[in-house]
Amino acid sequence: MSGAVIDGKAFAAGLRARVADFAATFEQAAGRKAGLAVVLVGDDPASQVYVASKAKQTALCGMASFEHRLPEDTAQDALLALIDRLNGDPAVDGILVQLPLPRHLDEQAVVARISPAKDVDGLTPISTGRLALGLPGLVPCTPLGSLMLLKDRLGDLSGLDAVVIGRSILVGKPMAQLLLAENCTVTVAHSRTKNLPDAVRRADIVVAAVGRPEMVRGDWIKPGATVIDVGINRLPPEEGQAKGRLVGDVAYAEALEVARAVTPVPGGVGPMTIAVLLRNAVVAAHRNAGVALADGAL
Ligand code: NDP
């Protein structure tokens, strides 16, 4: 038996097209474009690439993109002052601070300063609390994108056994909350979990967000399970190659043999993250401007 490949790239393209439609009708209704501000501190090369890509995609969806690039030695007060300014700027509907921040900055305090109404990354204590309480709010992009892929593939998730491997604030914990809200029975596994393979074997849904290349093996997976691989790991380069291959946290070829469906790396969850960021920005714009948005429309 061979499972299906979940094409996150295609799904993300569809989502971006829907976001562009909503951005256009928003502009007509509100008399201005929806706006997303991205703040980058320092010159980490990977972060530079992410920020450039986010700005480009924002503009392609018909939204205004505001980039704020600050030097590595930016002081905490200066960064907080910028966030206060963006919180008060009516042209800005969403604020994303590119993480990780340089070590001298207090990441938690910076994120907490973002207005919950503009928290498109869903990482402020208010957004996190609202998710835990089951109240509407902005949800972290990677787990929400993963949930979208699961619902597209499986429809109603009610009653399914899910295992989430990883308990980070960014991925594992919000993923578990989202699956619980869909009435899954959720196990959250982490580095201290005893007998992880057995926990995975019981699951109809496996979400791996660990950061360990190909850790989840094919014989851990229940036949017919659906596997979402969030991990992005670069292997050491093979001889004659400048860069190593990108792999996920799941041994992809093995998993495909037993699973119902698996997300590839790259081309699975990765493209969903930016698409959901844009989705969150346009949703925030509607709420901030008091323009109605049909529930579940995006
Ligand atoms: P973190 O490092 O913050 O969290 C990793 C989690 O994995 C921790 O909860 C840790 O447990 C757990 N873990 C570590 N080793 C093991 C093990 N041997 N067995 C079981 N659990 C283990 O990572 P993130 O959540 O931020 O990211 C996870 C992966 O997803 C990374 O590869 C990252 O690059 C990728 N990622 C991909 C995104 C995308 O857009 N596709 C977006 C964000 C992340 P403990 O808490 O006990 O330490």
Which residues does residue 64 pair with via DSSP β-bridges, in sequence order? 35
Taken in order 242, 234, 268, 126, the sign of the CA dihedral is negative
Q: Where in the chain is the domain with CATH 3.40.50.720?
A: 141-271
Top-tier CATH class for 141-271: alpha beta
Q: Would you state the pLDDT for residue 256?
A: 98
**30-120 CATH choice from 3.40.980.10, 3.40.1010.10, 3.40.50.10860, 3.30.70.890:** 3.40.50.10860
Query: Is 70 exceeded by the pLDDT of residue 109?
Result: yes
**Per-residue confidence (pLDDT) for residue 297, from 0 to 100:** 74
Q: Can you give the pLDDT at residue 1? A: 61
Give span(s): CATH 3.40.50.10860, the chain.
30-120
Q: Verify whether ligand 1 is closer than 6 Å to residue 218 (CB atom).
A: no
Identify residue 215 by its one-letter amino acid code. M
164 alpha carbon – ligand 1 mean position (Å): 10
Pocket test for ligand 1, best of 50, 53, 190, 246 (most atoms within 8 A of CB): 190
> How far is it, in rounded angstroms, from Cα 106 to Cα 197?
37
Find the 214 Cα to ligand 1 centroid distance in Å: 13
Q: What is the pLDDT of residues 1-35, one digit of tens each?
A: 689 999 999 999 999 999 999 999 999 999 999 99
Helix (H, G, I), strand (E, B) or coil at 238: coil
- pLDDT reported for residue 130: 97
Q: Give the span between the Cα atoms of 83 and 245, in whole angstroms.
A: 37
| Joined tokens for residue 31 | 């008399």
Residue nearest to ligand 1 atom 17, measured at CA: 191
Mean predicted confidence (pLDDT) in 216-236: 97
Nearest to 77 by CA among 114, 105, 40, 100: 105
Is 98 among the residues known to form the active site?
Answer: yes
The predicted model scores a pTM of 0.97
For residues 84-114, one letter each, b for 16 or more C-beta atoms within 10 angstroms of the residue's C-beta and e for the rest, the string is eebbeeeebbbbbbbeebbeebeeeebbbbb
Q: What is the per-residue pLDDT for 292?
A: 93
